[in-house]
Amino acid sequence: MAVPTYAGPLERIWYYTFRVLCGLIFFFLIAPILIMVPLSFNVEPYFTYTREMLMLNPEGYSLRWYQDLFTSESWLTSIKNSMIIGVSSTIVATFLGTLAALGLSRSEMPFKGLFMGLLISPMIVPLIISAAGMFFFYSSIGLANTMPGVILAHAALGTPFVVITVTATLVGFDHSLTRASASLGAGAGRTFFKIQMPLILPGVISGALFAFITSFDEIVIVLFVAGVEQRTIPREMWSGIREQISPTILAVASILVAFSILLLTTVELLRRRSERLRGMSPG
Amino acid sequence: MTQIDGTPNGSDNDHKVNGQMVTVDGTPLKASLKRAERKRTLIAFLLVAPLLTYLLISFIFPIGQMMWRSVDNPQLVSVLPKTLEALQDWDGEGIPDEPVFEALAQELTVASANRTIGRVAVRLNYEISAARGALMRTSRSAEDMEPPYKEAFLDAHRLWNETEFYRIIKREGRPLTASYYVAAFDGTYNEDGEIVMQDENRRIYIDLFIRTFSMSLGITLLTLLLGFPISFLMASLPMRKANLLMIFVLLPFWTSLLVRTTSWIVLLQQQGVINELLIFLGVIGEDGRLGMIYNMTGTIIAMTHILLPFMVLPLYSVMKTIPPSYVRAAKSLGATPWTAFWRIYVPQTLPGIGAGAVLVFIISIGYYITPALVGGQSGQMISNLIAYHMQTSLNWGLAAALGSVLLISVLILYWVYNRLVGADSLKLG
């Protein structure tokens, strides 16, 4: 959208004003996240840029908050817990979600709308309500304050993402491929693993990543269902922000930003690969 | 069921018996097809069944159970059945007669011994504030009471002298109650047992619902205001550049919610980056530091930032599909750029605006974490009060009633969203 040669002066002014305006909005989106990263290297326990930092004086910077983080018992436990809960709930969610998406995408599936609504409900219901409901239920069956309880709760929250992404990859799936495979003598299992699986794999993986990040970033359920033993990274940050806010939180936050860049790149690459495989867009 | 595979050619005489088509093994084709179809339906259903069962048990049932708590009222019915039966004969005026107190003395003694009295005391305390003390104290002495019980009760605590108290016991002596919902809408019962509004200064929840809705609406409008220009820009740029700019939208989307909230605390607090910058630039003095966080402003700024991607993604996906030729046609027919934009372009973006707005609104009315961390007093939303009643005041019935109201609002909005765009088209990333 370059300025057309016939544009009048007013249009030119508007064109540049609009660009600047958009630039400011993009700045609003990204700046808060990036501004925090250098502060995590602050030598002082402040949340603002010191004179030394602005002068780029190396004495204004230090790794002490990262050191704090990796020597603190409670932070290390929370990292471990987050990983265990994230990975386990992702496995459960991906397995159940992929199966359900395969069923939902079949043309013979009855009451598709109703089932879809039920299956994605964990994404729609406000977290505080899910958390309250699960708190009563998990307490009554003795799963509150246990690792399996948190894993099962997070798995339920993650399934809609898997269902949605896998269903999306199955849209436009060419069913003559499976018929061709069957007519060539392959059994149902072989057809699935050799033909369908490779095609829906990008969807399954990005669904799994969504499920993982949902669990990894989830705090409301953890506040209600988990006990002290199952403290996760967000739970630790939550109490850090409420009780004694120290730059260690910024160190954690910076690492999480790096982590989200990694996840974003992976999902984006997978999406493009999936679209290319299904021939939907050139790249 | 619209598609039947491999239907044999009708003119194939080898497979016709009595004018009816049959398969190789002799069963009529119709029946055979029907069976195959039934089998395929069954397989489809079996694939969905594990997740459906899992969610029904671990998610939908617990929420139903929680909603049930908003009307469930088992405490009095289970502990004081005889008293309640005796109260049936009471006309609601003055103090009930001796049989009521006889039953009460008996049941309080039992309840005190097996420690069920606490539940009744807590339950009645939601309705009238001295009830807990009255019941706990009276139940301890109930064992030693002698007839006439009425006198003994009237001496035991001042509440037993109030007609109001018996009316409450009678009202809450039913297995289902509306009182949590009455409380959730700032109502109360008057002397005649009619539902009336609370005193002005004791109303909390209606204001909070209004505040939650208006904050969500404000946040939705802000995200639209900020999201529209950048979506428009990205939709009009070549793919390559648009994808690059998309990173600015997706990175916040993928960044932890707590990280984003933390960064707003860092930016907005009294000793934070923005205040220091303004002082450095001489815009404000040392004592003129702006209070931008721990209030409604902080909540709105942080939530607008957090929810902006949810507006941009649907808007952008709609704008990308709008052919530029319509606007060009309008201009060539003499429309000013503004008319062409407003009359031709904007109407075509309405599905995207609708989808984005409902999505942002749904997410923000149920938001808990950000208001709890940066909201202070004035930035609290309905979710925060639900959490308060769940964890601090332990009035679970009221929490359930507030939660049910919130849930029903969200479900209605979701239904609207579904009508606008269809749940299947929900896009991620």
Q: What is the pLDDT of residues B359-375, one digit of tens each?
A: 899 999 999 999 999 98
Looking at per-residue pLDDT, the higher value among A124 and B427 belongs to: A124
Residue A269: left (phi > 0), alpha (psi -120 to 50), or beta?
A: alpha
Separation CA B162–CA A211 (nearest Å): 57
- Contacts of residues B264-267 at CB distance under 8 Å and 24 or more positions apart, as own/partner, are B264/A32, B264/B293, B264/B298, B264/B301, B264/B302, B264/B305, B264/B374, B265/A47, B265/A241, B265/A245, B265/B293, B265/B373, B265/B374, B266/A35, B266/A36, B266/A39, B266/A47, B266/A48, B266/A250, B267/A32, B267/A35
Give residue-wise pLDDT tens across range B379-406. Answer: 899 999 999 999 999 999 999 999 999 9
Model pLDDT, residue A282: 41
Model pLDDT, residue A283: 35
Which residue in the set A128, A249, A264 is minimally distant from B251, CB to CB?
A264
Q: How far is CA A44 from CA A41, A65, B37, in A?
A: 9, 10, 71
| Average of per-residue pLDDT across A96-122 | 89
Query: Does A13 reside within a domain?
Result: no
Give residue-wise pLDDT tens across range A232-276. Answer: 999 999 998 888 777 888 899 999 999 888 988 888 888 788 777
| Closest to A188 measured CA to CA, from B3, B34, B43 | B43
Give residue-wise pLDDT tens across range B321-336. Answer: 888 899 889 989 988 8
Residue with tokens 């509306």: B178
Which residue in the set B40, B58, B391 is minimally distant from A106, CB to CB?
B40
Q: Do B62 and A137 touch (CB under 8 A)?
A: yes
The helix or strand, by DSSP H or E, that contains position B398, with its residue range, turns out to be: helix B396-421
Sign of the C-alpha dihedral, residues A224, A225, A227, A233?
negative
Paired sense of beta strands B195-197 and B20-21, if any:
unpaired
The residue range of the domain holding A253 is 73-277
Give residue-wise pLDDT tens across range B248-270. Answer: 998 998 888 999 998 998 899 88
Tallying the residues shown for chain B, one arrives at 429
CA distance A147 to chain B (A): 15
Q: Do B55 and A132 touch (CB under 8 A)?
A: no
Q: Is B47 on the interface with A (CB under 8 A)?
A: yes
Contacts of A98 (CB under 8 A, 6+ apart): A162, A166, A200, A204, A207
Question: Which domain CATH number covers A242?
Answer: 1.10.3720.10
Minimal Cα distance from B254: which residue of A? A260
Which of helix, strand or coil describes residue B81?
A: helix
| Average of per-residue pLDDT across A53-82 | 88
Percentage, residues of chain A above pLDDT 90: 45
B-proximal residues of A, 172-211, CB under 8 Å: 179, 206, 210
Give residue-wise pLDDT tens across range A159-205. Answer: 999 998 898 888 777 888 888 888 998 888 888 888 888 888 888 98
Q: How far is CA A175 from CA A116, A205, A250, B40, B41, in A?
A: 21, 22, 50, 14, 16
Full-model pTM: 0.87
Q: Which of A26, A106, A108 to mutate to test the interface with B (most CBs of B within 10 A)?
A: A108
| Closest to B23 measured CA to CA, from B188, B35, B288 | B35
Separation CA B102–CA B100 (nearest Å): 5
Q: A14-44 b/e with 16+ CB inside 10 Å = b?
A: eeeeeeeebeebbebbbbbbeebbebbbbbe
Percentage, residues of chain B above pLDDT 70: 93
Query: Does A66 reside within a domain?
Result: no
* Chain A positions in Cβ-Cβ contact with residue B55 (cut-off 8 Å): 118-119, 121-122, 156, 159
pLDDT of B353 over the 60 cut = yes
Give residue-wise pLDDT tens across range B128-185. Answer: 888 888 888 888 888 888 888 888 888 888 889 888 888 889 888 889 999 999 999 9
Concatenate the DSSP letters of all residues of B2-39 into one string.
Answer: ---TTPPPTT-GGGEETTEEB-TTSSBHHHHHHHHHHH
Q: Which of B70, B231, B262, B363 to mutate to test the interface with A (most CBs of A within 10 A)?
A: B262
* A/B interface, count of CB pairs below 8 Å: 271
Model pLDDT, residue A280: 55
Domain count, chain A: 1
Residue B19: left (phi > 0), alpha (psi -120 to 50), or beta?
A: left
Take residue A72 and report the two structure tokens written for it. 């603190």
Q: Is B427 in contact with A206 (CB distance < 8 Å)?
A: no
Residue with tokens 């609009």: A18
Q: Is B84 in contact with B170 (CB distance < 8 Å)?
A: yes
Separation CA B284–CA A250 (nearest Å): 27
What's the mean pLDDT when you consider all of chain B? 87
* Chain B positions in Cβ-Cβ contact with residue A133 (cut-off 8 Å): 59, 62-66
Give residue-wise pLDDT tens across range B99-112. Answer: 888 888 889 999 88
* Chain A positions in Cβ-Cβ contact with residue B424 (cut-off 8 Å): 116, 167
Query: Does A2 reside within a domain?
Result: no
Q: Is B90 in contact with B170 (CB distance < 8 Å)?
A: yes
Q: Is A62 in contact with B281 (CB distance < 8 Å)?
A: no
| Average of per-residue pLDDT across B81-99 | 87
Which of helix, strand or coil describes residue A75?
A: helix
Q: Do A138 and B62 touch (CB under 8 A)?
A: yes
How far separated are the first and last CA of chain A, in Å rounded? Answer: 21
Model pLDDT, residue B8: 46
Q: Is B60 on the interface with A (CB under 8 A)?
A: yes
* Chain A positions in Cβ-Cβ contact with residue B267 (cut-off 8 Å): 32, 35
| Closest to A224 measured CA to CA, from A156, A94, A128 | A128
Q: Do A241 and B230 touch (CB under 8 A)?
A: no
pLDDT of B78 over the 50 cut = yes
Which residue in the set B2, B236, B263 is minimally distant from A107, CB to CB?
B2
CA distance A97 to chain B (A): 7
Q: Do B386 and A128 touch (CB under 8 A)?
A: yes
Give residue-wise pLDDT tens across range A14-64. Answer: 889 999 999 999 999 999 999 888 888 888 887 778 777 878 888 888 888
Query: Does A24 reside within a domain?
Result: no
Query: Does A57 reside within a domain?
Result: no
| Closest to A35 measured CA to CA, from B229, B277, B286 | B277
CA distance B9 to chain A (A): 18
Q: What are chain B's domains?
A: 13-69 (no CATH), 74-175 (no CATH), 205-425 (1.10.3720.10)
A-proximal residues of B, 14-33, CB under 8 Å: none
Model pLDDT, residue A218: 94
